[in-house]
Structure 1
Amino acid sequence: MKTLTIAATFCVVAASAAVADTPARVLTQILPTAKQYPNEAAAIATLNENGFKVQYNSYEGLGLSTADGLRLVSDNAFNITSVQIGTAARDDAFFEGLDLIGVSPDMESLRTAVDAYRDVFDARLRERFGATVLALWPFGPQIFYCNAEIGTIEDLAGLKIRSFTPSMSALLESFGATPVTLNFGEVYPALQRGVTDCGVTSPTSGNSGAWPEVTTHQLPLSVSGSVQGIFANLGWWESLTEEERTTISDAYAKLEDQQWVLASEINDDAVACNTGQESCAEGTPFDMTLVEISDDDRTAVSDAATTVVLPDWISRCEATYPGCTKIWNDTVGAARGFTASAP
């Protein structure tokens, strides 16, 4: 019998016997309170049941920063690492092209963008960081939690707002807000103490993280999907047998599909729970004020994506990866109807 070793905050999962144990060090962002956790726990259990001795730890449990995710997998400190794509963009702007703020505002359009970009994303990841993609999936629509009275997106002007990607910061600045870069776990106390006025995350993450306890207004205007990447160190990956790689690929492909379904199905309920509606079924009920989204709000975000977000991203991407504009235009741009122009 093999054991799945998990950080102190994680539960222990029993695994069945297999022919041989192959060690696998896995680092995750997902906490047990998250709706996405059971799917990842099931994937890890599958690996253990098929001959892997998995050491499964969280960034939070080890006191690590998610900003270091790419370097941790590149150095093979962990064989498999979960990375927030917007955070990874600080190491290489090209990766953020997958989920630029305002370009893919719903889960259907986002999946189209992700599918279009996956191959070029993986090629860059292999070349730049010696890693390969196992899964790409979103937490869900990224919306606004504010401890301030807002009625439209224009009311964000003058507010301090949590941001976690460079393109999100560019969008917020275009609306007159001040972006404050924070990891998810830092946001609740920042909102509580007035370090920030608003935070951006998915309805489910905000609900499970109790953000409505320290915010009053919910603007459910999606600006991105917070895509997560699960990457394997390439050297470690190539050291495995074909059968082992197939086992891992299948487990994470199933996880990816499950997380996309989850992102598409549970967020309306979370908004209902955050705002105290009777239809709340799965989340914790709160009593935030629900701000109605206007067509002008949607147009403002779409316009900012073209006039602010894309030019900002192109300048950063071309500086380290000349020619990335054409790659993006041929993939995400073509799939989503955007055309970026290099400066």
Structure 2
Amino acid sequence: MMTFKAKSLFLATALAFTCVASTTAWAEPDTLRVLGNFSGNKKQVDLVERPFFTDLAKNTGISSKISYSPMDLVNVKAADAMRLLKSGAFDIASVQIGMAARDDPFLEGIDLAGVATNVADQRKVMEAIRDEFDKEVQQRFNVKTLALWPFGPQILFCKDPIEKLEDFKGKKIRTFTTSMATLVQGLGGSPVTLQYAEVYLALQRGVADCGVTASSAGNGGKWPEVTKYLVPLAVSNSMQGHFINLDTWKQFSAEKQQALTKAFKKMESDMWDLAVNVDKDATNCNTGSADCKEHTKYNMTLNPVTPAELAQLKGVVNRQVLPQWAENCNSVIPGCSDRWLSTVGKAMGYGRISGVK
């Protein structure tokens, strides 16, 4: 039989436990502030991202309300998305990884220009580096990776014909990652860094001669109005991601975290499928093919890329892209290139990087 003192201690302990459990149950944030992708990326936003966040609470059982805003509608630049997530200005953000890599060069290792020239190879790269990538963003930005996906093959919209790689010499080419700029320089061109929304006018006014983006994004941005030639040379796959602030993540119970992880995994899969499916149709539409179905139809000329040119591109990657990236990344993050070689390098057949010991 319990003494009065023992009973009191038991009741106090039980009450404290109940309060903790109760607090944990309602500790979820009232509102999840979500920074979405650019609204101009209609396929990704309208078909996948916006519906996903509209139904997120219902599908996961979280109590938080969702406040979703595409980044261009709240005047956020792509390069600032990860910083705003780290600061707590947003709870979840869609991030263009190449832009975020300006603050942490290790991140660009998931999509170095010229390493994966098709979506299937890009998936191998992503799976190989995923765990190391998540460790990096948790440490550097206080965020957790929820989804990683490609926008699709990043090809070139040009004002003048590009019949061989040598024709890039002297051309001003819009790029949006450091390694992409290095690749363009290796081809004899001059990289021009521009936000997606700035490219149309830049091409129209001669600030740029070519612009790199996905075939569908160029179509949505009406780039074929100011360019004539489409070069299906996939210099990268424009890896994107959805990330959550770690402090926000920790407010959810283990059960809700599991539900969120499952939901974002499904969204990630949908984005990969979309990347594969829309590229062909967008290219058909940009070039006026009768097979055009879902994009705006234009009349660009397709300048195909030969296997010899792809081999030439790989030579530029080996001589310039990888060594320059490794030197830069190792100077900021000791052992950076070793982490890449043990993950992506192993998956893609790179045993070493020229000039790096």
| TM-score between both structures, scaled by the size of structure 2 | 0.88
* Secondary structure in structure 2 of the residue aligned to 1:338: coil
Comparing 49-58 with 280-289, which one deviates more in the overlay? Answer: 49-58
Any runs of at least 4 consecutive aligned residues in structure 1 with deviations exceeding 4 A, and if so which? none
Number of the residue aligned with 1:336: 348
Secondary structure of 1:180's aligned partner: strand
1:329, distance to aligned residue in structure 2 (A): 0.7
**Structure possessing the higher radius of gyration over alpha carbons:** 2
Amino acid in structure 2 at the alignment position of 1:193:
R
For 1:225 and 1:110, the matched residues in 2 are separated by: 7
1:95 maps to 2:103: no
Root-mean-square deviation over aligned CA pairs: 1.5
Q: Does 1:136 align with 2:148?
A: yes
Secondary structure at the residue paired with 1:283?
coil
CA contact (8 A) 1:160 1:178 kept: yes
Q: For residues 312 and 326 of structure 1, what CA distance do their matches in structure 2 show?
A: 14
Q: Residues 162 and 196 of structure 1 are in contact (CA less than 8 Å); yes or no, is this contact kept in structure 2?
A: yes
1:157-202 Cα shifts (integer Å, max 9, x gaps): 1011000000000000111111010111111111111110100001
Cross-structure match for 1:178: 190
* Correspondence 1:28 to 2:23: no
Quote the sequence identity (%).
Answer: 42
Aligned letter for 1:157?
K
- The count of corresponding residues between Structure 1 and Structure 2 is 325
**Structure with more helix by fraction:** 2
Q: What amino acid maps onto 1:28 in structure 2?
A: G
Task: Give the letter aligned to residue 121 of structure 1.
Answer: F
Distance change (3 Å), C-alpha of 1:176 and 1:32: closer
Q: Is the 8 A contact 1:157 1:176 kept in 2?
A: yes
Q: Mapping of 1:198-237 within 5 angstroms?
A: 198-237=210-249
Q: Is the 8 A contact 2:93 2:243 kept in 1?
A: yes
Aligned to 1:300: 312
Counterpart residue number, 1:42: 51
Q: How does 1:17-166 map to 2 (within 5 A)?
A: 22-31=30-39, 34-37=42-45, 38-49=47-58, 50=61, 51-166=63-178
> Is it true that 1:270 corresponds to 2:279 in the alignment?
no
CA contact (8 A) 2:41 2:217 kept: no
Kindly state the Cα deviation for residue 21 of structure 1 after the two structures are TM-superposed.
7.2
Per-residue deviation at 1:33?
A: 5.2
Q: In structure 1, what is the Cα distance between the partners aligned to 2:41 and 2:84?
A: 24
User: Residues of 2 paired with 1:317 and 1:224: CA distance?
Assistant: 19
**Which runs of 5 or more structure 2 residues have no equivalent in the other structure?**
1-25
User: Helix, strand or coil for the counterpart of 1:150?
Assistant: coil
Match for residue 322 of structure 1? 334
Number of the residue aligned with 1:309: 321
User: Structure 2: which amino acid aligns with 1:226?
Assistant: S
Q: Deviations over 1:99-150 (max 9, x none)?
A: 1000011000000000000000000111111111000000100000001122
CA drift of 1:32 comes to 5.8
| Equivalent pair of 1:43/1:255 in contact (CA under 8 Å) | yes
State which of 258, 261, 279 in structure 2 corresponds to 1:249. Answer: 261
> Which residue identity is paired with 2:169?
A
| Cα separation, 2, equivalents of 1:67 and 1:309 | 21
